[in-house]
Amino acid sequence: MIETWPFGIDVRRLTFISDLHLFSNRCNVDEHHKLIESSLEDADACVWGGDLFDFRWSRLENESASVAQALQWLEDWCERFPDKHFVYLQGNHDAHNAFSEAMMRWAAGRERFACDLDCMRIKDTLFLHGDVIEGRGKLEAFAEYRGRWQNKRVASRVASGFYDVAIAARAHKAAAMAAHRRKSTCMQLLHWMRSQPRSATDGVRRIVFGHTHRRIQGYCLDGIEFFNGGATIRHVPFAPVMIDFET
């Protein structure tokens, strides 16, 4: 599950960007566009950390339109930064079969873009979406969890309306704080990491993840530092996570 850096270049500085939830009504990515752009300008490479697109709550006209617009969004960034390398790690909201298949076909002709990945190690740092915590460290439970998201239909207008009300009332923020407390989340990620082959995790000193929509800036637990950039969702803090690697 833990892959290694697939490109033949050395990475000195990297930006990790996740949980934009594009296409959903709750997304406020336009407010953060310049911040995302400047982080890419300052980095050698970018890890898209999952849930960039929200197929469950997409308000576009149909699945095909959502997939096409997602690929165009990725294409625009690749064209804007022709010297950067990109890695796409899937999350639960974009673990969508039609999108995954289309992205793999799209990426096949692009040497600077890697996808169909869940976790990547670059030097001393692990990057992942973070929803492995929903499987409580067990691969079978995580696969089942992701499988449920892959087959979820787009939410109805009525359900989306109720969700919009919850967002306006900031209920999503309270729910995230209750469900994903910082220490317990990091402990679950540590448990998951220690269940992986030791050869893949020896020497890791940082874990960068998304999913929980709660910013974490260098929280230390058992010798490991944890980082999370939050989400581009109304009433939720967000910032790309910049990682500098020692040369």
Strands 119-122, 125-128: parallel, antiparallel or unpaired by DSSP?
antiparallel
Asked whether 15 and 47 are in contact (CB, 8 A), the reply is yes
Res. 166: pLDDT tops 60:
no
Q: How far apart are CA 44 and CA 46, in angstroms?
A: 7
Q: Is the pTM of this model over 0.85?
A: yes
Res. 158: pLDDT tops 50:
no
Tokens linked to 9: 């270049």
The domains of the chain are located at 2-244
CA angle 74, 79, 81 (to 5 degrees): 100
What's the average model confidence in pLDDT over 192-207? 96
- Specify the CATH architecture of the domain 2-244: 4-Layer Sandwich (3.60)
What's the average model confidence in pLDDT over 57-71? 92
Which pLDDT tens digit goes with each residue over 175-196? 555 567 899 999 999 999 999 9
Which pLDDT tens digit goes with each residue over 111-146? 999 999 999 999 999 999 999 998 766 777 887 878
